[in-house]
Structure 1
């Protein structure tokens, strides 16, 4: 006697996803990575094993580039919830899915002595030290809490994913990311995750890889931003940061032309009094001209542009008027004038 279920003619089976994946992993992962994991888990289920599936088939099914699929598996392997087994003669690899409940129990309830004795026998021993319940995940969870305190509200799922992206692809250093949020939100009053991304891009382009180098850079740029704000205030702009072209122009005046910040501010004040339409094109032309003449201070500018006084020997121009004297006419002359006029 045996028991069996009749196989359906079409597949309407269910996919079992552990709740730990939804609560602990999905909120901080990229949407692309989540799609790859779920589709791969479906291909790994018993009902789908009769089909041949590889990364290329997965990329085709999800309409994704193949590299995105490979990046997703690398991400989940770093999280410790899968294991990639490369083929000997192929660039492809097999993906082994771990039980999240087993990982959780193993890292929270198995006695330490038993863990040490079975370290070489358990299939999860290699991933146990790297999974999301390890110290690395604890660091990231702490970072989330600290960022929420800085920004003043709980992070949305989208902000979770963006912070995870910063941690994965920009700086896998919680101290650097925390410094970026403090710098933007507390010191510069520049809010939003998009501005954090711009800041991280700037730091990476500048080759800043340590918290010490970043602190030195912040100290330098902090003084420079004070000059930006003062110059913009002279021009009547008080509620925004300089645009890229404006900051580039000011940097050129300070670094290439050699103007001192205090002198530059005074020069711009003097130049702004000459016209009602002060803009950076006007300032660029005037300051470049001053640089060519070797002038560096506002006092030098005032001596060169001071109007010259009129000398005593210069003759004054007078208006000359012709005054016609009154005269009298005879009756014949008046009659002749009248006839000529007619």
Structure 2
């Protein structure tokens, strides 16, 4: 597979985008923010457009609300790659955008700071994983398992250079193997990307937001309403600490939310039943939730009420049918009518007296 660029017979113009933006900043932003940045950057490079372009034009050309454009600039300003220059004190949205040179930012933030540190301290300021360290790291069960899980996520084996980059993340960002697994699965699920540089950009962004553990990531994603956090919580409740959900398993969990309209509390309540089976799996939980859906259970309180109802049903005695239990089974001795049934009590008494007199 390769990528080939053809040439045009007519020059329609180009907009140069720095690779740093594509490699580092684009992976951490949603599509709308990226489109706003690129279109405005095109205007900035075009002499005819940059004087008349504004946020309203961007919103119209992209067919998005003006609020999305303003939110995009807030996001990029927070990442410190643009600067808003107010033009009017009356309208909050009326301002110009200054794009920073990303190459210069990289030099200022990395190269110059490294020079300063090297002057102050002779010890090395960065870590580079060696082949020997990679071999030793593969002997650690937790790291070995991490590589196995990543191989499953990206559907191929990691090459040694990728493994060495991953090990370098541990020193650079002070993270643990479980977070690396989550990062790969997050990139695979969100963007269908398996590139190690893309994953590095995501981890770097998490690190900037003080996210260095799986628990902090779960809280962050839950606050953003990310469905990925649900998958993670369900699998953790089922006892899967390292295994990531497959696409089929994610579709089943999507059904619980979209079709059955269950809350996370109800889903986690179903996961409590995993302790009753030696081999918990997603289909087992799905059967429980499907049964609850048929019974109209929608809240945790409904689950408790259903359990009480089942207990009461077990306590109730079985109904006794008098016509069946009292009916006697007839044999051949009951087919003919007995003599006693032809006399009443008085006649039987007289009959017995007469017999006793005859015997005397």
Q: TM-score, normalised by structure 1?
A: 0.49
TM-score (norm 2): 0.47
